Amino acid sequence: MATKPVLVLKVGGALLQCEMGMARLMTAAAEMIAAGQQVLLVHGGGCLVDEQLTANGKETIKLDGLRVTPEDQIPIVVGALAGTSNKILQAAAAKAGIVSVGMSLGDGNMVTAKIKDERLGLVGEVEPNDATYLNFILNQGWMPICSSIAISSQGDMLNVNADQAATALAKLVNGTLVLLSDVSGVLDGKGQLISSLNKSEIEYLVAQGVIEKGMKVKVEAALEVAQWMGKPVQVASWRDAEQLKTLVKGGSVGTQIQP
């Protein structure tokens, strides 16, 4: 059994369109796994979903950073996230010598899922449930790669925001959560990186409209986990190879969201 907490890395969809970014991330992950660190990768794929919806003549509507997902869009969303995005990452992992297991939130009883808000359609809210399946995979030295498609007990396929998916899985394994995006962290009104944020500072910046859309969802997900675990959660960039190296050494990168 590993003694260090599982590292839960969440990557946003923009990574999937950057070969170099994926290669660097997977190399860093391979180094960590070789050193005995268990790594769980949770991914989004919002931009792939956008592309597939457009190609199929569908409209994209977001409310507060979350995609309104009508029933006729769910097959496309599931295909883009649990299919294409998940397999692109598995292919990149294989190239770096990582043995991965591709999965979705709907697998192995990991989470419970329900519809979040009727106005959003088939958008899910998930809670951690059973870690048996994940721990089995992690204990083999394999890397789970999990998409944010969940399945409710009513049998609905649900689209879950990937930062919220990572929140549930980080809680499930009591892991260290790092949310990697295409920006260096949370930026202030002048575009400068903010190194640390607490709850009241986040509320202020959200009220000012400085933190909005996808970053609002991300920072709120990070705060929830930071408070639940009683330790900071990092919001950083997968673009910066130096940040990944610092991360491998256990250092702090990007913006620290304080409990």
Ligand X SMILES: Nc1ncnc2c1ncn2[C@@H]1O[C@H](COP(=O)(O)OP(=O)(O)O)[C@@H](O)[C@H]1O
Ligand Y SMILES: CC(=O)N[C@@H](CCC(=O)OP(=O)(O)O)C(=O)O
Annotated binding site for substrate: 45-46, 67, 159
Beta strands in 68-142 (DSSP E): 100-104, 111-115, 124-128
Pick one of ligand X, ligand Y, none as the site partner of residue 218 (Cβ within 5 to 8 A by kind).
ligand X
A 10 A CB-CB count for 3 gives 5
| Chain residues 186-215 in contact with ligand Y, contact rule CB under 6 A | 214
* Site size toward ligand Y, by CB under 6 A: 16
As measured in angstroms, the least distance from the Cβ of 189 to ligand X is 8
CA–CA separation, 139 vs 134, rounded Å?
9
Active site residue 114: no
Which residues are registered as beta bridge partners of 9?
Answer: 41, 178
Pick one of ligand Y, ligand X, none as the site partner of residue 161 (Cβ within 5 to 8 A by kind).
ligand Y
Please, which residue, 214 or 232, has the CB nearer to ligand Y? 214
A 10 A CB-CB count for 252 gives 15
Residue from 69, 167, 176, 181 in contact with ligand X (CB under 6 A): 181
Q: Under a CB-based contact definition with an 8 Å cutoff, are residues 25 and 145 in contact?
A: no
The total number of residues shown for the chain amounts to 259
Residue with tokens 């990582």: 98
**Tokens encoding 65:** 């950073």
66 contacts ligand Y (rule: CB under 6 A): yes
Please, which residue, 64 or 212, has the CB nearer to ligand X? 212
CA–CA separation, 175 vs 39, rounded Å?
9
Pick one of ligand Y, ligand X, none as the site partner of residue 123 (Cβ within 5 to 8 A by kind).
ligand Y
Residue with tokens 């009220």: 207
As measured in angstroms, the least distance from the Cβ of 154 to ligand X is 28
Please, which residue, 72 or 212, has the CB nearer to ligand X? 212
User: Of 12, 46, 185, 254, which is the active-site residue?
Assistant: 46
Indicate the SS3 state at residue 248: helix
Site string for ligand X, 12-31 (x = CB under 6 A): xxx-----------------
Pick one of ligand X, ligand Y, none as the site partner of residue 183 (Cβ within 5 to 8 A by kind).
ligand X
Taking CB under 6 A as the binding criterion, the range among 94-102, 130-138, 140-148, 175-183 that sits at the site for ligand X is 175-183
CA–CA separation, 112 vs 151, rounded Å?
8
Instruction: Indicate the pairing of strand 255-257 with strand 39-43.
Output: unpaired
Q: Under a CB-based contact definition with an 8 Å cutoff, are residues 178 and 234 in contact?
A: yes
Active site residue 163: yes
Active site residue 13: yes
- Closest-CA residue to 11 (of 144, 181, 234): 181
Report the interface residues with ligand X, using CB under 6 A. Answer: 12-14, 44, 46, 163, 181-183, 186-187, 210-215, 218
Catalytic residue numbers?
A: 10, 13, 46, 163, 218
For ligand Y, the binding residues (CB under 6 A) are: 12-13, 44-46, 49, 66-67, 77, 81, 123, 148, 159, 161-162, 214
